[in-house]
Structure 1
Amino acid sequence: MAADPHASQFMTMLLKMMNPKRTIEITAIDPVRSWYEIGLPFIIKAGIEDKIDFIQSQALPILDNLLLVRKEGSFDFAFVDADKQNYGNYHERLMKLVKVGGVMVYDNTLWGGTVAKHDGDVPDEKKEGKALAAEFNRRIAADGRVEICLLPLGDGITICRRIS
């Protein structure tokens, strides 16, 4: 997402408007530290390294632990750009961790535009991602606990506001 200037600009504006106090970013929870280190020079340049607590782990166990040690609705904002097969699992946990009125943003929900194409028009290497993104989109579109907006910025950004 950081590679798309429109998506980055939008996310910056959204966060400034929201002014969240407690945020969680699933990309800051990763079993591979080198992914975090790629972005570290930008984090340092922005002067926010003291605000980021990178956790080297799979995300689901960390979210499960947060559900045990924090009260429901502890976070104002969540951003997810992680393994697509777990987006639904992340969503369910974040629905408990993010407060009513809070926002969850999911990246890559258009999967390079493939979600709108017939399978025959999608390269084999993108078919699994297309299926995962399409299933996640269907799932949250039917979720009455959130209001959603899917933006065609970058690789697709879906914004969910928790309403119940």
Structure 2
Amino acid sequence: MRLTSRIVDYVLAQVAPPTAAEQRLIDDTTALGGIAEMQIPHEQGALLTLLAKLVDARTIVEVGTFTGYSTLALAKGVAPGGVVLTHDISSDWSELATRAWKEAGVADRIQQRIGPAAPALAGLPEEPFIDLAFIDADKVGYLEYWELLVPRMAENGLILVDNVLYAGEAADEDATGNAKAIQEVNAHIRADERVESVLLAISDGLTIARKKRAREFPGDRARAEVTP
């Protein structure tokens, strides 16, 4: 099926409209100009909130804050008493993000950390405690972020990876640069036996991966089959 503008409009109409705080952040981000394309669309934010609620996420880790729209969406879905740890290399948009979080009433659920994400993730406890993670930052860093997050994901936890189509360039055989990096991480995720995943054609592409329970790993299945 080809998604015509009429069908797209119909699909978007099935999502509850942005709240006043969300709409203000959308408008403020749009006013930044071309860089605003880094922000996720409202319908994707609604999906993040829903997924966080579905897994009853108490600890959420985000890589890539920007103006904080995805952070806000995740914070809306985090379980009572839970926290969203969001990482960004730059503080340029922190004021805009913080104002929106306060207006939306979710600021107390968010901890923002400024600086390179990889060292920050490496410094997290080396135990499976993350219920949901969202990767939406520098594309060449995706694979490293993935490898730092997977061992720290709770069983049945979700890792969401954004921009996995990269405007369709990830499907090109001669992909280069960011598109090539996305292509490689897509292949890596698909082959990773620690998770099961699906790539959705929502916005610029979103992969949803579930951390398998220990008994689901191939080695554990094999051992179970020979156990008397």
Name the TM tier (shorter chain). Answer: 0.7 to 0.9
Distance 2:104 2:159 in 1: 23
Question: What does residue range 51-66 of structure 1 map to in structure 2 within 5 Å?
Answer: 51-66=109-124
Residue 141 of structure 2: aligned partner: 86
Q: Which has the higher contact order (CA 8 A, sep 6+)?
A: 1
- Indicate the residue corresponding to 1:102 in structure 2: 157
- Quickly say closer, same or farther: Cα 1:111–1:38, change in 2 above 3 A: farther
Q: Which residue of 2 aligns with 1:43?
A: 101
- TM-score (norm. length: structure 1): 0.86
Contact map agreement 1:147 1:162 (CA 8 A) in 2: yes
Question: What is the DSSP-based 3-state SS (H/G/I as helix, E as strand, rest coil) of the residue aligned with 1:41?
Answer: helix
1:23 maps to a residue whose letter is I
- Pairing of 1:152-163 with structure 2 (within 5 A): 152-163=201-212
The equivalent position to 1:29 in structure 2, one of 87, 97, 114, is 87
Whether the aligned pair in 2 keeps the contact of 1:2 and 1:8 (CA below 8 Å) is no
**One-letter identity of the residue aligned with 1:85:** V
Kindly indicate whether the alpha-carbon contact (under 8 Å) linking 1:151 and 1:157 is maintained by their aligned counterparts in 2. Answer: yes
Cα distance in 2 for partners of 1:37, 1:96 equals 32
Residues 57-66 or 23-32, more deviating: 23-32
Distance change in 2, residues 1:40/1:112 (3 Å): farther
Cα drift, residue 98 of structure 1 = 1.0
Matched-pair identity in %: 32
Which residue, out of 31, 42, 45, partners 1:8? 45
Matched, 1:112 2:161: no
> Once the 2 structures are TM-superposed, how far is the Cα of residue 71 of structure 1 from its aligned partner?
4.4
Q: Which whole-Å CA distance do the structure 1 matches of 2:95 and 2:207 have between them? A: 26
* AA at the equivalent of 1:10: L
Give the number of the structure whose alpha-carbon radius of gyration is greater.
2
State the TM-score, normalizing by the size of structure 2: 0.63
* CA RMSD between the two structures: 1.8
Aligned mates of 2:132, 2:42 — CA distance in 1: 21
Q: Verify: 1:129 aligned to 2:178, yes or no.
A: yes
CA deviation after TM superposition for structure 1 residue 118, in Å: 4.7
Seen in structure 2, the aligned counterparts of structure 1 residues 57 and 3 have a Cα distance that, compared at 3 Å, is: closer
Deviation at 1:37, TM superposition (A): 3.3
Letter in 2 for 1:86: G
Partners of 2:95 and 2:205 in 1: CA distance: 24
Q: Please state how far the C-alpha of 1:51 moved relative to its aligned partner.
A: 1.3
Question: Which amino acid in structure 2 is aligned with residue 162 of structure 1?
Answer: K
- List alignment gaps of at least 5 residues for structure 2: 1-37, 65-85, 215-228
